[in-house]
């Protein structure tokens, strides 16, 4: 299909192609360009990006489920997990938090890789990297004498799946016009986040299937774990091939040095990083820890067949959190991300209070419902905070354009580059919040014999984050306007 779009005073064609290529010119905010063919190209890239990122999250979160079966597979350092043994719980949280930390650290270089290598090549590379932790775990879990440090290394390697998020989000942010960016980023992120839920659903089923096909002994559990890990390999190969063949790279999505410097020295990059700790850090931290928390706090559920088979229903948390994320971006396009984010943090504090009440009453139904509420709110908050980022940098670029005589086109391009750089930093800091959350649970359990102090600290942190959001983005002199394309005052 051929589109005609204006570049200055000249008319140039744009042709949509199924095969991947370098796009020398990309103007998503040009209505004619977008409707005639740009939309199809952007949607194509979004689809392949979602698939690759989904697998990245699936591999990243594998350890959250695998640790709950490794004790039965014959690894003594996790043998007491089902009985709430503090040492086993601590070891499990260490194994689940390690990929979180590595994934967070990789998000910054992964973001910078998009301007350097292009979205198509780097999406293929990042997908192919997922073969290392999957094949490695499948091998070593079948070596019964493998020490814990080897599994820590493998858990760290699984962190490459977490790095995929920032490269994917930075890449997709270039493809969509300003008014559709929130929904597109929400869909892209939700597709990745959904990988957490599908892993927590599928892995326990495959582990159970593996033990039934062999025997309910350590060897059977090792076979089940192997089966649950290798199932992702064919999909990883398909994602790698699909990205290489069909995705596009945008030539103008290049680093200009100055944009990165402006983003990294902008206070709003760090304010948004702090807020993203509360939303995405909570989502990924609790997603990794939820199977362990259920098994440690409600060990009697291990006797109830299908609840155990379904991973103690832990997959539901990531599932509802994933599906609520696009809603956060969509509604923020209409009412403003800051307003939505304040409400999210207030609701998250309430959800934590309900979780503590459920533990006090030893009520699993209330515990599950309260956690599902928390996950829904983290998903909405992920979408609303990410929607704020392009608005903030668009406002910054508009202010500089007015002050320095920069053209609107130059200001828009600069804003996109800065937002792309900021996404890497914000995503990295936010994901590191998942590591901090799990470590807080682990240290609270070790030092106080209870996770309650950590949960109360979370509630206080969420209230503080709501206040920070209001202070920077909702006070009358700082408020982000309802229309995303408008600058907010006093920036």
Give the closest residue to 20 by CA, choosing from 203, 256, 221, 242. 242
How much is the pLDDT for 325? 80
**pLDDT higher than 70, residue 12:** no
Give the closest residue to 445 by CA, choosing from 130, 81, 163. 81
Q: Which of 234-243, 318-327, 367-376 has the lowest mean pLDDT?
A: 318-327
* Sign of the torsion formed by the C-alpha atoms of 159, 185, 178 and 431: negative
Q: Is 149 exposed, middle or buried (0-12, 13-18, 19+ CB in 10 A)?
A: exposed
Into how many domains does the chain fold?
1
Over residues 25-65, the pLDDT tens digits come to: 888 878 888 877 888 899 999 999 999 999 999 999 999 88
How much is the pLDDT for 380? 93
Highest mean pLDDT among 190-199, 371-380, 404-413, 481-490: 371-380
Number of helical (H) and strand (E) elements in the chain, helices listed first? 20, 4
Over residues 412-462, the pLDDT tens digits come to: 767 777 776 777 788 788 888 989 998 999 899 888 888 899 999 999 999
User: How are beta strands 249-250 and 22-23 bridged, if at all?
Assistant: parallel
Residue 481 lies in a domain: no
Residue 56 lies in a domain: yes
- Residue 321 contacts residue 376 (beta carbons within 8 Å): yes
Number of CB atoms found within 10 A of residue 307's CB: 15
**pLDDT higher than 70, residue 349:** yes
Q: Is 361 exposed, middle or buried (0-12, 13-18, 19+ CB in 10 A)?
A: exposed
Residue 482 lies in a domain: no
Report field, pTM of the whole predicted structure over 0.75: yes
In this prediction, residue 10 has a pLDDT band, given cuts at 50, 70 and 90, of very low
Residue 464 lies in a domain: yes
Residue appearing with tokens 């649950």: 228
Residue 8 lies in a domain: yes
* DSSP structure string for 125-149: HHHHTTHHHHHHHHHHTT-TT--HH
CA 185 to chain centre: 11
- 410, two tokens: 């130059």
Q: Average pLDDT of the chain?
A: 83
Residue 485 lies in a domain: no
Number of CB atoms found within 10 A of residue 261's CB: 12
Over residues 139-150, the pLDDT tens digits come to: 999 998 899 999
Q: What residue numbers bound the domain in which 193 lies?
A: 2-473
| Distances 246 to 168, 173, 181 between C-alpha atoms, Å | 15, 18, 21
Residue 228 lies in a domain: yes
Q: Look up the CATH number of the domain holding residue 30.
A: 1.20.1250.20
């Amino acid at each position: 299909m051929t589109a005609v779009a204006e570049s200055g005073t000249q008319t140039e064609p744009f042709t949509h192609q199924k095969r991947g290529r370098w796009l020398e010119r990309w103007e998503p905010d040009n209505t004619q360009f977008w409707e005639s063919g740009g939309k199809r190209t952007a949607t194509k890239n979004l689809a392949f990006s979602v698939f690759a990122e989904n697998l990245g999250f699936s591999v990243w979160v594998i350890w959250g489920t695998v640790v709950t079966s490794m004790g039965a597979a014959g690894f003594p350092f996790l043998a007491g997990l089902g009985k709430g043994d503090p040492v086993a719980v601590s070891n499990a949280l260490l194994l689940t938090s390690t990929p979180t930390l590595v994934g967070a650290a990789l998000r910054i270089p992964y973001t910078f890789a998009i301007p350097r290598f292009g979205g198509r090549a780097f999406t293929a590379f990042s997908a192919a990297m997922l073969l290392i932790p999957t094949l490695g775990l499948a091998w070593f879990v079948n070596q019964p004498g493998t020490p814990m440090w080897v599994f820590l290394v493998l858990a760290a390697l699984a962190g490459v799946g977490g790095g995929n998020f920032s490269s994917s989000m930075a890449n997709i942010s270039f493809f969509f016009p300003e008014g559709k960016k929130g929904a597109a980023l929400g869909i892209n992120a939700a597709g990745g986040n959904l990988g957490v839920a599908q892993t927590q659903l599928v892995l326990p089923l495959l582990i159970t299937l593996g033990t039934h096909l062999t025997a309910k002994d350590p060897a059977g559990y090792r076979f089940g774990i192997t089966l649950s890990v290798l199932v992702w390999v064919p999909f990883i190969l398909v994602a790698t091939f699909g990205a290489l063949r069909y995705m596009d790279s945008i030539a103008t999505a290049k680093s200009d040095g100055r944009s990165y410097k402006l983003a990294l020295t902008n206070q709003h990059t760090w304010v948004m990083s702090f807020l993203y700790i509360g939303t995405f850090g909570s989502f990924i931290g609790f997603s990794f820890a939820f199977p362990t928390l259920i098994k440690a706090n409600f060990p009697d559920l291990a006797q109830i067949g299908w609840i155990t088979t379904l991973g103690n229903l832990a997959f539901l948390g990531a599932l509802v959190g994933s599906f609520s994320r696009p809603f956060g971006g969509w509604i923020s396009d209409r009412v403003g991300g800051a307003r939505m984010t304040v409400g999210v943090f207030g609701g998250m504090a309430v959800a934590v209070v309900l979780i503590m009440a459920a533990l006090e009453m030893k009520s699993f139904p209330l515990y599950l419902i309260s956690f599902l509420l928390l996950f829904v709110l983290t998903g909405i908050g992920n979408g609303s905070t990410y929607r704020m980022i392009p608005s903030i940098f668009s406002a910054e670029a508009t202010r500089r354009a007015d002050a320095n005589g920069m053209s609107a086109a130059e200001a828009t391009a600069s804003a996109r580059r800065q937002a792309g750089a900021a996404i890497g930093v914000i995503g990295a800091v936010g994901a590191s919040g998942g590591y901090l959350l799990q470590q807080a649970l682990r240290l609270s359990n070790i030092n106080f014999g209870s996770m309650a102090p950590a949960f109360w600290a979370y509630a206080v942190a969420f209230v503080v984050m709501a206040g920070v959001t209001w202070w920077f983005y909702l006070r009358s002199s700082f408020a982000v306007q309802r229309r995303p394309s408008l600058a907010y005052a006093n920036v």
